[in-house]
Amino acid sequence: MYQRREITTQERLQQEQYCQRVRALIAHRPHYALVDTYGCQQNESDSEILRGWLVQCGYELTGSEEKADLIAVNTCAVREHAEKRVLGNVGALAHNKAKNPELLVCVGGCMTQQETMRERIRRSYRVVDLVFGPHELWQFPQLLLETMERRGRRGAKSRLIAAAPSEGVVAEGLPRQRDNQVKAWLSIMNGCDNFCSYCIVPYVRGRERSRRPEDVLAEARELIRLGYKDITLLGQNVNSYGKGLEEDTDFPALLAALDAIPGDYVLRFMTSHPKDATEKLFRVMAESEHCAHHIHLPLQSGSDRILRQMNRRYDRAGYLEKVAAARAAMPDLVLTTDIIVGFPGETEADFADTLSLVEQVGYDAMFTFIYSPRTGTPAAAMPDPVSRAEKQVWFDRLVQTANRISAEKHAAYVGRTVRVLVDGATGQEPYDLSSRTKGGRLVHLAGDPALVGQFLDVKITDSTTWALYGQIE
Ligand code: 5AD
Ligand code: SF4
Domain harbouring 424, CATH code: 2.40.50.140
- Choosing from 114, 129, 162, the residue where a domain stops is 162
| Residue 192 placed within a domain | yes
Contact 21, 146 (CB under 8 A): no
Report the C-alpha gap between 298 and 277 in whole angstroms. Answer: 11
Do residues 102 and 238 share a domain? no
Q: Is the CB of 374 under 6 A from ligand 1?
A: yes
pLDDT by position in tens, the chain (length 473): 788 999 999 999 999 999 999 999 999 999 999 999 999 999 999 999 999 999 999 999 999 999 999 999 999 999 999 999 999 999 999 999 999 999 999 999 999 999 999 999 999 999 999 999 999 999 999 999 999 999 878 877 899 999 999 999 999 999 999 989 999 999 999 999 999 999 999 999 999 999 999 999 999 999 999 999 999 999 999 999 999 999 999 999 999 999 999 999 999 999 999 999 999 999 999 999 999 999 999 999 999 999 999 999 999 999 999 999 999 999 999 999 999 999 999 999 999 999 999 999 999 999 999 999 999 999 999 999 999 999 999 999 999 999 999 999 999 999 999 999 999 998 888 899 999 999 999 999 999 999 999 999 999 999 999 999 999 98
Q: Residue 237: what pLDDT?
A: 93
Regarding whether 224 and 122 lie in a shared domain, the answer is no
Q: Which of 43, 44, 78, 309 has most ligand 1 atoms within 8 Å of its beta carbon, as the pocket-test mutant?
A: 78
User: Residue 457, SS3?
Assistant: strand
Which CATH number characterizes residue 227's domain? 3.80.30.20
Task: Round to whole Å and give the CA distance between 375 and 373.
Answer: 6
pLDDT at res. 420: 98
Whether the link from the prior residue into 375 is cis, omega within 30° of 0, is no
| 145 and 220 housed in the same domain | no
Answer yes or no: do 303 and 400 share one domain. yes
Instruction: Answer positive or negative: Cα dihedral of 289, 293, 296, 302.
Output: positive
Q: What is the CATH number of the domain that holds 42?
A: 3.40.50.12160
pLDDT of residue 1: 77
Contact assessment for residue 299 and residue 355, using Cβ atoms and an 8 Å cutoff: no
Residue type, 168: G
DSSP 135: G
C-beta separation of 361 from 327 below 8 A: no
254 and 366 co-located in one domain: yes
> What is the layout of strands, in order, in the sheet containing 365-370?
294-296, 334-341, 365-370
Nearest ligand atom owner, CA of 205: 2
Strand partners for 459: 417, 471
Q: Rounded to an integer, what distance in angstroms lies between the CA atom of residue 315 and that of residue 312?
A: 8
* Structure-derived torsion over alpha carbons of residues 103, 106, 111, 114, reported in degrees to the nearest 10: 110
Q: Are residues 202 and 68 in the same domain?
A: no
- Find all residues with CB under 8 Å of 296, minimum gap 6, and list them: 270, 271, 272, 336, 337, 338
DSSP for 416-456, please give it.
Answer: -EEEEEEEEE---SS--EEEEETT--EEEE---GGGTT-EE
Which atom of ligand 1 is least distant from the CA of 379? Answer: 10
DSSP characters for 386-407?
Answer: S-HHHHHHHHHHHHHHHHHHHH
How many contiguous H segments (helices) and E segments (strands) does the chain have?
A: 13, 19
Residue bearing the CA closest to ligand 1, atom 6: 199
Do 135 and 269 share a structural domain?
no
Instruction: Say what the pLDDT of residue 126 is.
Output: 95
CB atoms within 10 A of CB 382: 14
Is the shortest distance between the CB of 384 and ligand 1 below 6 Å?
A: no
The pTM (predicted TM-score) of the whole model is 0.96
Residues 6+ away with beta carbon under 8 Å from 238: 188, 189, 251, 269, 270, 271, 272
372 lines ligand 1 (CB under 6 A): yes
Considering the domain architecture, whether residues 378 and 442 belong to the same structural domain is answered as no
Residue 444 CA to ligand 1 center (angstroms) comes to: 29
Q: Is 43 in the pocket of ligand 2 (CB under 6 A)?
A: yes
Q: Residue 51: inside a domain, yes or no? A: yes
Domain boundary among 395, 410, 425: 410
pLDDT of residue 190: 97
319, 368, 369: which to mutate for ligand 1, most atoms within 8 A of CB? 369
Q: Cα–Cα distance between 419 and 343 in angstroms, integer? A: 40
In a domain, 220, yes or no: yes
User: Would residue 18 count as lying in a domain?
Assistant: yes
205 lines ligand 2 (CB under 6 A): yes
Final residue before a domain boundary, out of 362, 385, 410: 410
241 and 379, same domain (yes or no): yes
- Asked if the structure places residue 178 within a domain, the reply is no
Cβ(198) – ligand 1 distance below 6 Å? yes
Nearest listed ligand to the Cα of residue 344: 1
Do both 196 and 237 map to the same domain?
yes
146, amino acid identity: E
Number of separate domains in the chain: 3
pLDDT at site 156: 75
Contact 113, 203 (CB under 8 A): yes
Residue 42 in contact with ligand 2 by CB distance below 6 A: yes
CA of 189 to the centre of ligand 1 (A): 19
Residue 67's domain comprises 9-162
Tell me the sheet residues that pair with 88. none
CA distances from 129 to 3, 110, 189 (A): 32, 17, 30
Any idea which ligand is nearest the CA of 312? 1
Which of 238, 233, 217, 240 minimizes the C-alpha distance to 269? Answer: 233
Listing DSSP states for 18-44 in one string gives HHHHHHHHTTTS--EEEEEE-SSHHHH
Residues 152 and 261 in one domain: no
SS3 letters across 364-380: CEEEEEECCCCCCCHHH
Ligand nearest to the CA of 369: 1
Asked whether the beta carbons of 439 and 364 are under 8 A apart, the reply is: yes
Q: What is the pLDDT of residue 174?
A: 97
> Could you tell which of 79, 114, 314 is best to mutate to test the pocket of ligand 1, judged by most ligand atoms within 8 Å of the CB?
79
Give the integer Cα–Cα distance in Å for 227 and 182. 7
> Is the CB of residue 300 below 6 angstroms from any atom belonging to ligand 1?
yes
Which stretch of DSSP H or E encloses residue 295? Answer: strand 294-296
Q: Is residue 177 part of a domain?
A: no
256 contact partners, CB below 8 Å, separation of at least 6 = 284, 288
Residue 171 lies in a domain: no
Query: How far is it, in rounded angstroms, from Cα 76 to Cα 87?
Result: 11
Q: Give yes or no: residues 312 and 432 share one domain.
A: no
Q: Is residue 327 part of a domain?
A: yes
